[in-house]
Structure 1
Amino acid sequence: MGQKINPLGFRLGTTQNHHSFWFAQPKNYSEGLQEDKKIRNCIKNYIQKNRKKGSNRKIESDSSSEVITHNRKIESDSSSEVITHNRKMDSGSSSEVITRIEIQKEIDTIHVIIHIGFPNLLKKKGAIEELEKDLQKEVNSVNQRLNIAIEKVKEPYGQPNILAEYIAFQLKNRVSFRKAMKKAIELTKKADIRGVKVKIAGRLAGKEIARAECIKKGRLPLQTIRAKIYYCCYPIRTIYGVLGVKIWIFVDEE
C-alpha cells in the first residue's frame, strides 16, 4: 500500500510557502490556529452569501425577458441557444473563487491577503469595510486592527481551486463528468503550465457502486521536490451523494 502525502506539505520550504506567518508561545499556539480558521471561514462565508444574493437578483430581474428571448431563439435557430447557454455556465461557474488566504500577524495588526481569481464582488464600494466589520466581530480582537488586501491571480485557470469550482458547477447542472473534466483541462491551455491531472471519485453518473475516474495531460513529477505543483481537494455535494475532486497542476521546476 502506497504512503501518500499532501503535495503542498511535501514541498514546504522549497517551492511552497506557508499560508500563515506568525509566532506564538506553545501555550497560545492553539488559540492562534483557531483564530486563523475563523478568519478563513468568515471570508469564505461572506463571499458565498453575497454570491447567492447577486444570483437571486439576476434571476428575479431577468426572468421576464428570458422567456421572450427564449421563444425568439427557438424560432430563429436552436443551435445558437445551446451556445449562449454554455457561455453563461462558463462565465458564472468560476467567479469569485478564492485560491488562498494569507495571514500575517504582528503585535498590533493582522494582515489578511486574499488571493482571488475574479475579484468583482470585493471591488464594490463598501465590500471590504463590511468584511472588516464581520472579521472584527468574529475574531474579537480589541487591541489589534485588521488590514485586508486583495490580490488578483495572474493566471486564474492555472489554479486548481478555480478548476474544481468549475467542475462542481458543471456537475450540479447535470453535465457529464467526463465532459466536465475534459473542459477543465481545456481551460488550462489559457495558463502557462506543463501538466495537469484531474481525478473524480464517488457515485459517478448516479451508479450504485462508487468508482474513480482520472484524466491526465502533460508531465506530473510528484516525487520531485523542486517541481512546483499546485494541489486541491474539493468535495461536491450532488443528489447522488458527495463526490471528491482532486486536481494536480505542474507549473514549473526551480
Structure 2
Amino acid sequence: MGQKTRPTGFRIGVVEDWRSRWYAPKREFGSLLVEDQKIRRFIKAEYRSAAIERVEIERTRDSVVVLLHTARPGIVIGRKGQEIDRLKGRLEDLTGRRMEVKIVEVNNAYRSATLVAEDIAQQLQKRGSFRRAVKRTLDQVMEAGVHGVKIELSGRLGGAEMSRKEKASRGSIPLSTLRRHVDYGFAVAKTGQGIIGVKVWVDLGDYADEESGDGTHAKAGQTPQKPKRSHKR
C-alpha cells in the first residue's frame, strides 16, 4: 500500500495539509506553480545552513505569505531582523509581488526526516564513514522520542566501484495505514566519487495522539500505552 510511493504525498489531502495553499484560474495556474518552485529553490540555495525543513506558500489577491519551517530561526532572522528584511526584498525582486515572510521554529531537528537526511548528506560530503554516520543518526533520532526510523543510502558508498544500496532501521515503520504520521525526507550528497542519495522515514506516531498530546510522552520505539482500567467498585 505505502511501499512504492512517497508517504507525505500519499497522505496530502487526507491527513496532511497542502504545502501550497491558493486558488487560481486555469490560465494562471501553471505560472504560479513554477513561481512557487522558484521561491523554494531560491530559499534552499541561499540558506543551506539554516536547517529549513519545508517552505509553505499562501497566496491572497494582493500578497504572498511564505512560511519557513526552520530549526535555526536566528540565521534567517539575522541581527535585529535585518536578514529577514533582506530575504523579503530579494523574493519581491524575484517574483515582482508583495511578499511576507513568517518563521515557524522546528523544536527538534531529529524528528524531521528532511533535516535528518540533510545532516547525513553533509557528513558524507565531509568524507565521513557512511556506516558510522548512519549508526550515530539512528541513535540520535530514536532518542528524540520517535517510534521508528529507516535510512536508505544508494550510490558509490565508501568509494566502491559499483553503486549499491544500504538500509538500516530501528523501531517500526508501518506502511499499511494512513493514521500513522510517517515523515519522509530525501537529500543528495555530492561526493568526489559521485552522487549518493539519502532517504529517511521517521514514524512520529498516530495523528490522533499528536492532536491530543499523548504521543509526546511515549518512550523511544514504543507506542503510547493505554491507561489500565481500575477494578475498584
The residue that corresponds to 1:120 in the other structure is: 74
Partners of 1:20 and 1:104 within 8 A in 2: yes
Alignment of 1:98-177 (within 5 A): 98-125=52-79, 126-141=82-97, 145-177=98-130
How does the TM-score come out when normalised to structure 1?
0.77
| Structure 1 segments (4+ residues) deviating >3 Å | none
CA RMSD for the aligned pairs? 1.5
Residue number among 106, 117, 142 corresponding to 1:189 in the alignment: 142
Letter in 2 for 1:179: R
Alignment of 1:59-78 (within 5 A): none
How many residues end up aligned between the 2 structures? Answer: 204
Letter in 1 for 2:112: Q
Q: Structure 1 residues 42 and 173 mapped into 2: Cα distance closer, same or farther (>3 Å)?
A: closer
Partners of 1:200 and 1:214 within 8 A in 2: yes
Residue number among 144, 164, 170 corresponding to 1:217 in the alignment: 170
Residue by residue, what CA displacement relative to the aligned partner does 1:128-172 show, whole Å, maximum 9, x if unpaired?
Answer: 11001110110012xxx2110011112211111221122122112
Partners of 1:99 and 1:161 within 8 A in 2: yes
Letter in 2 for 1:225: L
CA distance in 1, matches of 2:58, 2:64: 6
Letter in 2 for 1:241: G
Could you say what secondary structure the match of 2:24 adopts? coil
Could you say what secondary structure the match of 1:121 adopts? helix
Q: Runs of 5+ in structure 1 lacking a partner?
A: 49-94
The residue that corresponds to 2:222 in the other structure is: none
Shift of 1:3: 7.3
Partners of 2:68 and 2:102 within 8 A in 1: yes
Letter in 2 for 1:234: A
Q: Runs of 5+ in structure 2 lacking a partner?
A: 208-233
CA distance in 1, matches of 2:42, 2:127: 30
Q: Which has a greater percent of helix?
A: 1
The residue that corresponds to 2:13 in the other structure is: 13
Deviates more, 1:120-129 or 1:206-215: 120-129
Q: Structure 1 residues 239 and 232 mapped into 2: Cα distance closer, same or farther (>3 Å)?
A: same
Instruction: State percent identity of aligned pairs.
Output: 34
